[in-house]
Amino acid sequence: MFPAECRFTKDHEWIRDDGGQHTVGITAFAAEQLGDVTYVELPEPGSRLSAGDTAASVESVKAASDVYAPAGGEVCEVNEALDGKPELVNQDPYGEGWFFKLSDVDADELEQLMDAAAYEQFVGEHSE
Amino acid sequence: MQLIFEKSRPGRRAAQFDALDVPEASLPPALCRAEPAELPEVSELDVVRHFTQLSQQNFGVDSNFYPLGSCTMKYNPKLAEAVAAYPGFSELHPHLSTCPAFRGLCQGALELVYETEQALAEIAGMRKVSLQPIAGAHGELTGALLMAAYHRDKGNAKDTMLVPDSAHGTNPASAAIAGFKVVQVASAADGTIRLDAVKEALNESVAGLMLTCPNTHGLFEPRVREIADLLHESDALLYYDGANLNAIMGHARPGDLGFDVMHFNLHKTFGTPHGMGGPGSGPVGVGERLEAFLPGPRVVCEGGRYDLETPAKSIGKVAAFFGNFLIAVRACAYIRHLGGPGLKEASENAVLNANYVFARLKGTYQPAFESGFMHECVFSAAPQAKAGVRALDIAKALLDYGLHAPTVYFPLTVRESLMIEPTETESKDTLDAFCDAMIEIAGKAESDPDSLHAAPRTMPVGRLDEVRAARQLDCSC
């Protein structure tokens, strides 16, 4: 149900190793809970984030939520397409709906995050 | 309904002027528009009908039941409107108060400010109140600035505000605007704040905690005294968001519970207009610790004469004059008319009405919490959502019954939340009509979900495309 190549946080972000750089977004579960996304605020390219820092925010007609950095690193690219097409977050959360990319990510920090099976169980426990 | 521009006909006018009987003078070309302004050309009757029809499309508490949770959309008594219209109040120039020579001409108005502040202080168990803030969130910001001033004065290096996840969204925003870092504190499964989470978050950098009580789950926080003691041990302050004061008037006073600073929403608790621009009013109340920092100038009374004075360490003005003065007049009329026993009865009936609705609906909708609701009750439409009917569909369907929707998708801690606050001013007949409609809608959610997706059908406009409205912000058309 959730992509095996990603790691997940309790705040419903995913992070994926894309060959040196790490791509970050929010999970399909988070996008579904938010409803139609209307606006995404992204971090400044070049900014340094620690794990748990507020990195971005996402707004829907229902609510506005912060998106946290799943791991520390430097923001090397942001998904500018979300500026005009925030619906990509709902349509393709693990693909075109990505938020930003991090370089210099510490592999040890990733180890502490949930894998797909653990996240699926976590969502199951919290969605009733 | 047509726009007034679509009703425009060339040459049609609402006013007639006499023939020009003085020499015509021309304006300097630099001051003239290149093209004539595009204004509707309509008759007086066109204008009257247009705006009368617009007003008839309004969905307000004077025409319909309005159980918007966390908003206290109670009836605004017309007595208060009549008092606010007295020329002695409504035609007063505010600068009469600022000029000492004229202060004698507005003693009645100054007395009203003084008395209203005292009445609010007594209701909430606070030392002093300032009427200046002109909205609830403005009151929060003022309160947060007062907390910052207190810590600055004492040389405390405190820059963090704790806010429970059951708080109003304005709390973290107000704290952030006042310059604080905001840290969220989690609620327990029973919907109240977790004492161990407060302990965990508490350290030397914490300036205060902002608490709503009853909270936005509609539940009374039973551990306020312990939270207050914990905060005070490290010289942090406890803020009371007065949004839900309507549940406890005459039964519990924030000052007695240990709160140091608070705001009132006159447009919620004290029956002044709410919605459509109000205007609102969010007076702040303070205990002993923050008295010296209140906004100024303040009305003081010496030997029967009302004068102005600014507290020694005042944070200054947060609004012109005394805030929304005519709203304070309405609130004063409301408080004086009901009196202490009446205010207490208002709270009791608000709680009774919410619990009546809860009792009638808890078999049909999933209660967000087991029990303990005060003036509002919260349900989750998650079971209905699984069948394809979301809280939003239920909200829109209610409009076709002539009932305003409850608050939906708030509090954020409850999925598909429906938050119902009937207020004390509704009769059992109205509550029954609402509950009957809710139960009928739940039935349709099972038998004919598509009929709810198309709601509302009887309103001037159907289902609005809220997503497109939010994505394509274009206000220039």
Q: Are residues B285 and B414 in the same domain?
A: no
Fold (topology level) of A6-116: OB fold (Dihydrolipoamide Acetyltransferase, E2P) (2.40.50)
Query: Which residues does chain B have within 8 Å of residue A39's beta carbon, measured at their own beta carbons?
Result: 470-471
**B355: domain CATH number?**
3.90.1150.10
pLDDT exceeds cutoff 70 at B16: yes
pLDDT tens by residue, B167-215 = 888 999 999 999 999 999 988 888 999 999 999 999 999 999 999 999 9
- Tokens 């406009």 belong to B461
Strands A48-49 and A21-26: unpaired
Residue B142 within a domain: yes
pTM of the model: 0.88
Determine the residue of chain B that is closest to A33 in CA distance.
Answer: B415
Amino acid of residue B142? T
Q: Model confidence at B469, in pLDDT bands (50, 70, 90)?
A: confident
Q: Are residues B220 and B138 in the same domain?
A: yes
B201: β partners: none
Q: Are residues B331 and B366 in the same domain?
A: no
pLDDT exceeds cutoff 70 at B81: yes
Separation CA B219–CA B376 (nearest Å)? 8
Residue B156 within a domain: yes
**Which of left, alpha, beta for B402 (phi over 0: left; psi -120 to 50: alpha)?**
left
Q: Are residues B409 and B281 in the same domain?
A: no
Q: Are residues B330 and B428 in the same domain?
A: no
Query: What is the reported pLDDT for A20?
Result: 85
Count: domains in chain B:
2
Q: Are residues B171 and B226 in the same domain?
A: yes
Cβ distance of A86 and B467 shorter than 8 Å: no
Three-state secondary structure call for residue A101 = strand
- Tokens 């020499």 belong to B23
Query: What is the reported pLDDT for B477?
Result: 52
Distance from CA of A39 to the nearest CA of B (A): 7
pLDDT tens by residue, A48-100 = 999 999 999 999 988 888 999 999 999 999 999 999 999 999 999 999 999 99
Mean pLDDT of B425-451: 97
Cβ distance of A38 and B412 shorter than 8 Å: no
pLDDT exceeds cutoff 60 at B341: yes
What contacts B196, CB < 8 A, 6 or more positions away? Answer: none
Q: Are residues B350 and B254 in the same domain?
A: no
Separation CA B108–CA B114 (nearest Å)? 10
Pick from B135, B408, B133: nearest CA to B277? B135
Higher pLDDT, B189 or B46: B46
Residue B408 within a domain: yes
Question: Is A61 near chain B, with CB under 8 Å?
Answer: yes
A74: β partners: A48, A103
Question: Is B93 near chain A, with CB under 8 Å?
Answer: no
Last residue of a domain, one of B338, B365, B398: B338
Q: Model confidence at B473, in pLDDT bands (50, 70, 90)?
A: confident
Q: Model confidence at A10, in pLDDT bands (50, 70, 90)?
A: very high
Q: Are residues B210 and B251 in the same domain?
A: yes
Q: Model confidence at B475, in pLDDT bands (50, 70, 90)?
A: low
A79: tokens are 């998904």
H/E stretch holding B15 reads: none
Cβ distance of B466 and A61 shorter than 8 Å: yes
Q: What percent of chain B has pLDDT over 70?
A: 99
pLDDT exceeds cutoff 90 at B277: no
Residue B210 within a domain: yes
Query: What is the reported pLDDT for B405?
Result: 96
pLDDT exceeds cutoff 80 at B130: yes
Q: Are residues B371 and B278 in the same domain?
A: no
Query: Which residues does chain B have within 8 Å of residue A63's beta carbon, measured at their own beta carbons?
Result: 409, 412
Strands A37-41 and A54-60: antiparallel
**Domain regions of chain A by residue span:** 6-116
Q: Are residues B111 and B148 in the same domain?
A: yes
Query: What is the reported pLDDT for A127?
Result: 67
Query: What is the reported pLDDT for B466?
Result: 86
Query: What is the reported pLDDT for B437?
Result: 98
Cβ distance of B471 and A86 shorter than 8 Å: yes
Query: What is the reported pLDDT for B297?
Result: 96
Q: Are residues B453 and B374 in the same domain?
A: yes
Cβ distance of A38 and B409 shorter than 8 Å: no
Interface of A with B in 86-115 (CB under 8 A): 86-87
pLDDT exceeds cutoff 90 at B416: yes
B277 phi, psi to nearest 5 deg: 90, 0
Q: What's the mean per-residue pLDDT of chain A?
A: 93
Distance from CA of A83 to the nearest CA of B (A): 10
- Tokens 């992204």 belong to A42
Q: What percent of chain B has pLDDT over 90?
A: 89
Question: Is B181 near chain A, with CB under 8 Å?
Answer: no
Strands B261-263 and B237-241: parallel
**Could you report the predicted ipTM of this complex, rounded to two decimals?**
0.75
Mean pLDDT of B5-12: 95
Residue B204 within a domain: yes
Q: Are residues B389 and B303 in the same domain?
A: no
Residue A38 is nearest to which of B409, B415, B471, comparing CB atoms? B471
Residue B470 is nearest to which of A33, A38, A127, comparing CB atoms? A38
Three-state secondary structure call for residue B410 = coil
H/E stretch holding B271 reads: none
Question: Is A59 near chain B, with CB under 8 Å?
Answer: yes
Q: What's the mean per-residue pLDDT of chain B?
A: 95
Last residue of a domain, one of B288, B315, B338: B338
Question: Is A41 near chain B, with CB under 8 Å?
Answer: no
Higher pLDDT, B449 or A127: B449
Last residue of a domain, one of B295, B311, B338: B338
pLDDT exceeds cutoff 70 at A128: no
**B237: domain CATH number?**
3.40.640.10
pLDDT tens by residue, B228-255 = 999 999 999 999 999 999 999 999 999 9
Separation CA B143–CA B355 (nearest Å)? 32
Residue B318 within a domain: yes
Contact B72, B280 (CB under 8 A): no
Residue A38 is nearest to which of B409, B412, B467, comparing CB atoms? B467
Residue B301 within a domain: yes
pLDDT tens by residue, B440-465 = 999 999 999 999 999 999 998 899 88
Query: What is the reported pLDDT for B476?
Result: 64
Determine the residue of chain A that is closest to B417 in CA distance.
Answer: A62
Residue B320 within a domain: yes
H/E stretch holding A56 reads: strand A54-60
Domain that holds residue B90: 78-338
- Tokens 């946290």 belong to A68
Determine the residue of chain A that is closest to B184 in CA distance.
Answer: A66
